[in-house]
Amino acid sequence: MAEVVLRTENLCKSFGALEASSDVSLDLRAGEIHALIGPNGAGKSTLIKQIAGNFRPDSGRVELLGRDVTVLDTVARARMGLGRTFQISALAMEYTVLQNAVLGALGGQGRVFRLFRNVMKDPALLAVARDALERVGLADAAGRRTADLSHGQRRQLEVAVALTLKPKLFLMDEPMAGLGADGSHRLTGFLDGLRQEAPILLVEHDMDAVFALADRISVLVYGRIIATGTAAEIRANAEVRRAYLGEEDAA
């Protein structure tokens, strides 16, 4: 069986009386896309934040690349190779596409520059940034102001910025959100190829993308994983159909 790169064990996290994560155990293996689906408010983002290090679980543990990282912060986990894209854009809108990608690359190298213009002339950073833009199909837009990009192009740029850190695995929170049919088709193709290089834990509401991409799917309802399996197993699961997919969607 493929190597486990990420594992959560019995994660619990409450906000007051609300149990947002209830005994959540899952893993992500080399070469796979593992999708996490569930209704609004099921606790997907809360789980991602505990894996990324934004939230400390009340109990349970998170293991990254074989190491217990439960008490490590987001920066330490990112340095270990945990790449991430966000539900809400973290891009610098007034900067160009290339500048955003270079800033991403800078974060990965831990080097210190005194002047922004020196950062933007550094050949090593530029090479990493241009390579990431090329891979997501944004090379031609390198000189454009980020604020002038379409919504779909911004999502591509977020993936490019994450790629500059050369992550060993990805957490992606709704990368398809707001993309048109074209955009999500293109991103689906890209993620399909990316899994071999860096497995992906994918939170996504776009069920076409999930069923097309996921090697395994976990279904979260009221903070609890009610099923994990292949697309066919999840489609056929009676509890999932009742709780989430709905009989008509699952037919």
Q: Is 15 in the site for ligand ATP (CB under 6 A)?
A: yes
How many other β-carbons are positioned within 10 Å of the β-carbon of residue 250?
Answer: 16
Q: Which of 2, 18, 71, 127 binds ligand ATP (CB under 6 A)?
A: 18
| Residue 233 Cβ vs ligand ATP, minimum distance, rounded to whole Å | 21
- Measured from the CB of residue 153, what is the shortest distance to ligand ATP in angstroms? 23
Shortest Cβ distance from residue 31 to ligand ATP (Å)? 26
Residues 34-73 that bind ligand ATP (CB under 6 A): 38, 40-46
Q: How many residues bind ligand ATP (CB under 6 A)?
A: 11
Q: Do 70 and 7 form a contact (C-beta atoms < 8 A)?
A: no
CB of 188 to ligand ATP, least distance (A): 19
Identity of the residue, 31 or 41, whose beta carbon is nearer to ligand ATP in the bound complex: 41
Tokens at 117, concatenated: 């213009």
Closer to ligand ATP by Cβ: residue 36 or 161: 36
Provide the 10 A C-beta neighbour count for residue 167: 21
Question: Cβ 220 to ligand ATP, closest distance in Å?
Answer: 7
| Interface region with ligand ATP, contact rule CB under 6 A, candidates 33-41, 60-68, 91-99, 137-145 | 33-41
Residues near ligand ATP (CB under 6 A) are 15, 18, 20, 38, 40-46
